[in-house]
């Protein structure tokens, strides 16, 4: 994914913030253990959110402490005993493979060369992930291929573009045993928000480079009326998520998930609408 969705830290309790950092570091470790050190570089906020949402842990999770390459001198807390972290790790590898394939078609020069090199490294990792999650691999290819096709056509429909990414994201919930349909719907809406955020963040760069951008394709230019309509879309999406959240069976991370859905995502979109580009900051520590 893209690394936009994270909690609004000032509104988290201290124990919740520690748990969030523990899941973040836990996903990094799972990616390294399950795939490679290279794969661990791809840990991002969006997949951390997915891991917490899909978790079936009811009590306080087991927190460990250890050093790593990113923190060789100071021990950091991490949580790895969650089945949902395996789902998030597999989804990260599968999504990255298809992103590389997309880059090979879209990029030029050094970026295309980099994608070629990464494709060679990533192919066996993708095959491994696809063997673990064949349905997720199938759905990811299906909807990301459609997304790329719509991009090539210059699609001006926000609903069609965000629906593709939403359908991909909800496929992660196929592995859930509790509240599967509700979690699928929440992931669907969250990915729609992420897709909008990514388009907002890249708006100026894409405009200057003459590349496709969902916002410019739909509205042409970013003015006050455009921002108002996007704000309305975001509000509607967040209201749907909040409604769905009320029917979730509580888990160990419910407070953090609620913070992200009601405060974190809203803050990110507000910043982007105000012109504060954030870039892909999924590797920042929370």
CA distance 183 to 178: 9
Q: Which among 100, 103, 136, 144 is positioned nearest to 120, based on CA atoms?
A: 100
pLDDT tens digits for range 209-267: 888 999 999 998 889 999 999 999 999 998 999 899 999 999 999 999 999 998 888 88
Query: In the predicted model, what is the mean pLDDT of residues 23-30?
Result: 96
Asked whether residue 4 carries a pLDDT value surpassing 90, the answer given is: no
133 CB-side CA count, 13 A:
25
**Domain ranges, ordered by start, for the chain:** 9-273
pLDDT tens digits for range 45-79: 999 999 999 999 888 888 899 998 888 888 999 99
CATH number for the domain formed by residue range(s) 9-273? 1.10.600.10
E strands of 27-89, at which residues? Answer: 64-66, 76-78
CA distance 187 to 167: 9
Q: Which residues of 230-269 are buried (b: 16+ CB within 10 A; e: fewer)?
A: beebbeebbeebeebbeebeebbbbbbbbbbbebbbbebb
pLDDT tens digits for range 106-135: 666 666 677 777 778 888 999 999 999 999
Return the number of other C-beta atoms located less than 10 Å from residue 30's C-beta: 25
CA distance 151 to 214: 8
Phi-psi region of 225 (alpha: psi -120 to 50; beta: other; left: phi over 0): alpha
199 backbone dihedrals φ, ψ, rounded to 5°? -65, -40
CA distance 199 to 212: 9
Asked whether residue 278 carries a pLDDT value surpassing 80, the answer given is: no
CA distance 136 to 186: 17
Query: What pTM value is reported for the model?
Result: 0.90
Least confident of 40-44, 196-200, 261-265, 282-286: 282-286
pLDDT tens digits for range 83-92: 999 999 999 9
Q: Are 135 and 150 in contact (CB under 8 A)?
A: no
Q: Which carries the bigger pLDDT value, residue 105 or residue 171?
A: 171
pLDDT tens digits for range 90-100: 999 999 888 88
Instruction: State the chain's mean pLDDT as an integer.
Output: 88
Tokens of 177: 């045993």
Return the number of other C-beta atoms located less than 10 Å from residue 26's C-beta: 25
Query: In the predicted model, what is the mean pLDDT of residues 20-48?
Result: 94
């Amino acid at each position: 994914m893209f690394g936009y969705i994270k909690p609004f830290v000032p509104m988290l309790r201290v124990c919740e913030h520690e748990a969030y950092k523990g899941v973040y570091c836990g996903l990094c470790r799972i990616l390294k253990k399950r795939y490679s050190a290279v794969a661990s570089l791809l840990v991002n906020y969006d997949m951390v959110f997915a891991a917490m949402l899909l978790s079936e842990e009811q009590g306080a999770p087991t927190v460990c402490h250890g050093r790593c390459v990113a923190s060789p001198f100071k021990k950091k807390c991490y949580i790895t005993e969650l089945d949902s972290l395996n789902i998030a790790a597999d989804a990260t590898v599968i999504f990255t493979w298809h992103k590389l394939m997309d880059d090979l078609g879209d990029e030029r020069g050094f970026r295309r060369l980099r994608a070629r090199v990464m494709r060679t490294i990533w192919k066996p990792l993708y095959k491994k992930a696809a063997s673990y999650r064949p349905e997720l691999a199938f759905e990811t290819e299906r909807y990301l291929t459609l997304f790329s096709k719509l991009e090539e056509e210059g699609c001006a429909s926000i609903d069609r573009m965000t629906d593709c990414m939403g359908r991909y994201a909800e496929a992660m919930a196929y592995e859930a045993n509790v509240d599967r349909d509700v979690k699928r719907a929440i992931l669907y809406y969250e990915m729609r928000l992420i897709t909008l955020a990514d388009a907002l963040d890249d708006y100026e760069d894409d405009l200057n480079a003459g590349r496709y951008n969902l916002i410019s394709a739909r509205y042409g230019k970013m003015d006050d009326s455009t921002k108002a309509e996007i704000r309305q879309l975001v509000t509607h999406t967040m209201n749907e998520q909040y409604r769905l959240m009320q029917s979730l069976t509580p888990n160990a991370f419910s407070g953090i998930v609620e913070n992200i859905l009601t405060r974190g995502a809203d803050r990110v979109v507000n910043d982007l609408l105000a012109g504060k580009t954030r870039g892909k900051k999924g590797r920042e520590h929370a």
